[in-house]
Structure 1
Amino acid sequence: MLNTSPWVARADREVESEVLILGGGLAGLAAGSLLGHRATVVEAQERPGGLVRTERIGDYWFDRVIHLLYFSHPDVENRVRALLGDVLQPCPPDARVETARGATRFPVQLNLNGLPAEVRAACLEDLRSAHERPVAPDNYEELLLSAFGRTLCELFFFPYNRKLWRRPLSSLSASGFHWNLTRPSVAEIERGANAPRPTGGYNARGWYPRPARGDWRGMEVLSRALAGRVGDLRLRHVVTAVDPNTRTVRTRSPEGVTDFHYTRDCLSTLPLPTIVSLCAQAPAALVEECRDLPRNRVRSVALAVRGPRPRDTGHWRYYTREDVPFTRLVFMTEFDPDMAPADGWGVLAEVLEPSEGPRASDESLVADVRRGVAEVGLLAPGSRIVGSSVYTSDPGYVVFTDATRETTAEATRFLTSRGITPLGRYGTWTYSSMSQVMEEAFAWAAESPALTA
């Protein structure tokens, strides 16, 4: 039998560092920026940032996946402000919701004032009944019903979440999705139903980089600033094997095969199924269980439009309509007017696909999104689409089921027992904001023996 072990051939070169960080996304860059010369960060792509990157179509700029910064920890805020200075500008989020009974602000449960009076009344009646007779939900569908009542669920939460998760809501866990839900009290919802002005929701204090000039715009400005503080950043290095016993990670790059040896710590921000599959000592059963963890991929379709910018769109709009493919449209010039030429604007459409299912071709996706954008009435007369592109994030959203927690806990125990710390949104197989990711990464780096020794 042929020996197919990735360790048979000798590496072209060897590198030693105190700390080795796998993945140059936000978590890896944040940790590496604090550790400086003590750490080496290896990243598969030709630019750092992971999901926090910005792409160009001519003079139009698009974040691969839209992000706003919400600071939940003063240490993170202080560090990011020190990095970006006045480039970081206030950007309080303005999100809208399109339903079959009209449009209102997001989150819809705090802004029923935008809906017809009879709809508001039905929502409030159902909501009071649900809260008067609380039940312990067994799945995500029951969680939504118990939190918001049937009218509001049928109006928004059910159709939107069916488009977002692309699987029966009753098959999803009742826990794990709380990041996606704002659960105000009945009194708060009643105030939002009767308020003459929109009610703010969670994360009302947002920030976005708006450089006056320079080679880059969008949220990649943050990634590049963090990368500039990393002592040793190796781009275009794909991790092909991990041996925790010898503290060795093998990579493949255009320059050849490299073995990285770490003397203190290894931090993995790679997706949890990926790092487990690469570990030489991982049990086959665990590798298979991790490979089967459900998730959705995000297909972000960017359209560059020449023509007058649409008015009063908000930063993004959620769509419950099932005759359009996107869950939301993101208007890039609302974040930064210079993300497009003065006579144009860019829109980013988010389409979700189950990762275990077929992937639609880029051409068909662009055609569907173009039709949908026209269908919802965003293109003014004389406007024309002058460019398009598709950016795929897989995994994009982690899907929580009752079995997910057991598998991720087992995988985490395996990795930590071998001296590898999983971190980040996909490294821990959960959902986390940019601020949360950086907070965890800074905290881990600050406690590393490499920094404290």
Structure 2
Amino acid sequence: MLNPSPWADSADREVETEVLILGGGLAGLAAASQLDGRAVVVEAEDRPGGLVRTERIGEYWFDHVIHLLYFSHPDVEARIGSLLGDVLRPCPPDARVETARGTTRFPVQLNLFGLPPEVRAACLADLRAAHEDTTPPRTYEELLLGAFGRTLCELFFFPYNRKLWRRPLSTLSASGFHWNLTRPGIAEIERGANSQRPAPGYNSRGWYPRPTGDGQRGMEVLSRALAGRVADLRPGHVVTALDTEARTVRTRSPEGITDFHYTHDCVSTLPLPTTVSLCRAAPSALVERCRALPRNRVRSVALAVQGPRPRDTGHWRYYTREDVPFTRLVFMTEFDPDMAPADGWGVLAEVLEPSEGPRAPDDALIAEVVRGVEEVGLLGPGSRIVGSRVFTSDPGYVVFTDTARETAAEATRFLTSRGVTPMGRYGTWTYSSMSQVMEEAFAWGAERSALTTT
């Protein structure tokens, strides 16, 4: 029996708007904040924010996935600074790398001093040789080797990226991953190998909200502030169909079926494969190719710990060892001491799974993470776990292959030709920071605001 068409029933209500924005994450909220009352934002969840949400477990707060704000554009910094005021505090990131030969600061290639002398010497020799080789890389594995040399790849980049991407590195594209790589010059590398003074990473100017009082904490403070600038935000509306010919989007909510008619623009911040599958005019072959786009889901395991806070952890630690499930541990009270009661602390463990594979049951995943946290020595005497939860983001990371990039480009061209503007990290099927997402969305919203008022 065929599934019924999403247009089979008549709508319970109809809404007309100049601009319709699908998805109330940072991209949708930032774009709508520039359009006064001329835009409607529909959001499937019960509150906006997308990935930029923070949950509470008792007296402990956890971001769904950890974010720091790194401002790459002065206009965005000024806007968010004005929006959040004194709540937004400097938070220069302090990250550590756990390897089989010792612990050093991140990025490891700028902080080799934390490794044994013989390892530093081997890393430097390989790095110098790698920088002399100008052969263009064909795969991500070759890109890493050409950037950092064999020793540092075997020590950190290969084991860490195998855990992160959960696929052979030789099958991944040589392009698309540069956001995750810092390739400094030889002089900078040598400086970091000969000085114990930490070298700054590529994002050394970080910011994080630290509100006072007992209200909302964490990065959701940013999402809520942006949502307050949106005139018509409708949570609980799941998009079920998109008809670009009729300029109509159908949603399902507790109130029933609603048809939203847009007269000027439709923006979709939904994942690119989702938008294509919802589009009535999409060719079936394109829909199937988009469904096959590779990605990983992020399983963020939050553990509320009662007991003394561990010292000198940094904000987060990367783990290369294969016997623990997480790629990194994030220490929430390092971002804001009030994210937990004074006699406790919260840790967020990030575990990656291929989206096409099975999802580990929450209970089993929590048990594995607890075992791993104990294995790395973080649960000391007098510490006990008083709460836990799993947050799942799917997609979490877009996986770049040559074929996937071609499919994503074709899907983007198709939607644009039908008058739909993909926007945001997953809407454009790429990687972008919060600052980049907001920069693009603010600019688009400002441009459309000017056009619709003339």
Assess if the C-alpha contact under 8 Å between 1:144 and 1:157 holds in 2. Answer: yes
Q: Give 1:172's aligned residue.
A: 172
Assess if the C-alpha contact under 8 Å between 1:35 and 1:451 holds in 2. Answer: no
The aligned amino acid for 1:370 is V
The aligned amino acid for 2:269 is T
Is 2:293 the counterpart of 1:293?
yes
- Once the two structures are superposed, residues 118-154 of structure 1 have per-residue CA deviations (whole angstroms, 9 ceiling, x without a partner) of 0000000011111122321110001000000000000
Q: Secondary structure of 1:67's partner?
A: coil
The aligned amino acid for 1:36 is D
Alpha-carbon distance in 2 for matches of 1:304, 1:131: 45
Aligned-residue offset at 1:172: 0.2
Alpha-carbon distance in 1 for matches of 2:214, 2:240: 36
Q: Give 2:259's aligned residue.
A: 259
Superposition map of 1:39-438 within 5 A: 39-438=39-438
Q: Secondary structure of 1:37's partner?
A: coil
Q: Secondary structure of 1:345's partner?
A: strand
Q: Secondary structure of 2:321's partner?
A: coil
Alpha-carbon distance in 2 for matches of 1:350, 1:12: 42
Question: 1:400–1:115: structure 2 CA closer, same or farther, 3 Å change rule?
Answer: same
Runs ≥4 residues deviating over 6 A? none
The aligned amino acid for 2:103 is A
Assess if the C-alpha contact under 8 Å between 2:114 and 2:196 holds in 1. Answer: no
Q: Secondary structure of 1:448's partner?
A: helix
Q: What TM-score do you get using the length of structure 2 for normalisation?
A: 0.99
Aligned-residue offset at 1:55: 0.4
Alpha-carbon distance in 2 for matches of 1:186, 1:401: 30
Alpha-carbon distance in 1 for matches of 2:229, 2:154: 49
Aligned identity (percent) is: 82
**Larger mean Cα displacement after TM superposition, 385-394 or 70-79:** 70-79
Alpha-carbon distance in 2 for matches of 1:189, 1:217: 38
Alpha-carbon distance in 1 for matches of 2:342, 2:399: 40
Q: What TM-score do you get using the length of structure 1 for normalisation?
A: 0.99
Alpha-carbon distance in 2 for matches of 1:201, 1:145: 20
Q: Secondary structure of 1:35's partner?
A: coil
Alpha-carbon distance in 1 for matches of 2:139, 2:90: 38
Aligned-residue offset at 1:39: 0.5
Q: Secondary structure of 2:33's partner?
A: helix
Aligned-residue offset at 1:2: 6.7
Q: Secondary structure of 1:416's partner?
A: helix
Assess if the C-alpha contact under 8 Å between 1:446 and 1:452 holds in 2. Answer: no
Alpha-carbon distance in 2 for matches of 1:58, 1:229: 30
The alignment yields a C-alpha RMSD, in angstroms, of: 1.0
Aligned-residue offset at 1:451: 4.8
Q: Give 2:6's aligned residue.
A: 6
The aligned amino acid for 2:250 is R
Assess if the C-alpha contact under 8 Å between 1:271 and 1:426 holds in 2. Answer: yes
- Once the two structures are superposed, residues 41-80 of structure 1 have per-residue CA deviations (whole angstroms, 9 ceiling, x without a partner) of 0000001000000001000000000000000101111110
Aligned-residue offset at 1:196: 3.0
Assess if the C-alpha contact under 8 Å between 2:31 and 2:444 holds in 1. Answer: yes
- Once the two structures are superposed, residues 266-302 of structure 1 have per-residue CA deviations (whole angstroms, 9 ceiling, x without a partner) of 1100000000000000000000000000000000000
Alpha-carbon distance in 2 for matches of 1:363, 1:50: 24
Alpha-carbon distance in 2 for matches of 1:418, 1:327: 40
Alpha-carbon distance in 2 for matches of 1:338, 1:55: 14
Aligned-residue offset at 1:107: 0.3
- Once the two structures are superposed, residues 351-391 of structure 1 have per-residue CA deviations (whole angstroms, 9 ceiling, x without a partner) of 00000001000001000000000000001201000000000
Is 2:41 the counterpart of 1:33?
no
Aligned-residue offset at 1:5: 2.1
- Once the two structures are superposed, residues 19-39 of structure 1 have per-residue CA deviations (whole angstroms, 9 ceiling, x without a partner) of 000000010011111112110
**Larger mean Cα displacement after TM superposition, 128-137 or 161-170:** 128-137
Alpha-carbon distance in 1 for matches of 2:387, 2:3: 48
Aligned residues: 453
Question: 1:94–1:261: structure 2 CA closer, same or farther, 3 Å change rule?
Answer: same
Assess if the C-alpha contact under 8 Å between 1:293 and 1:404 holds in 2. Answer: yes
Q: Secondary structure of 1:391's partner?
A: strand
Identify unmatched segments of 5+ residues in structure 1. none
The aligned amino acid for 1:145 is L
Alpha-carbon distance in 2 for matches of 1:133, 1:383: 50
Aligned-residue offset at 1:4: 2.6
Alpha-carbon distance in 1 for matches of 2:446, 2:158: 43
- Once the two structures are superposed, residues 288-340 of structure 1 have per-residue CA deviations (whole angstroms, 9 ceiling, x without a partner) of 00000000000000000000000000000000000000000000000000000
Q: Secondary structure of 1:387's partner?
A: strand
Alpha-carbon distance in 1 for matches of 2:245, 2:7: 13
The aligned amino acid for 1:326 is F
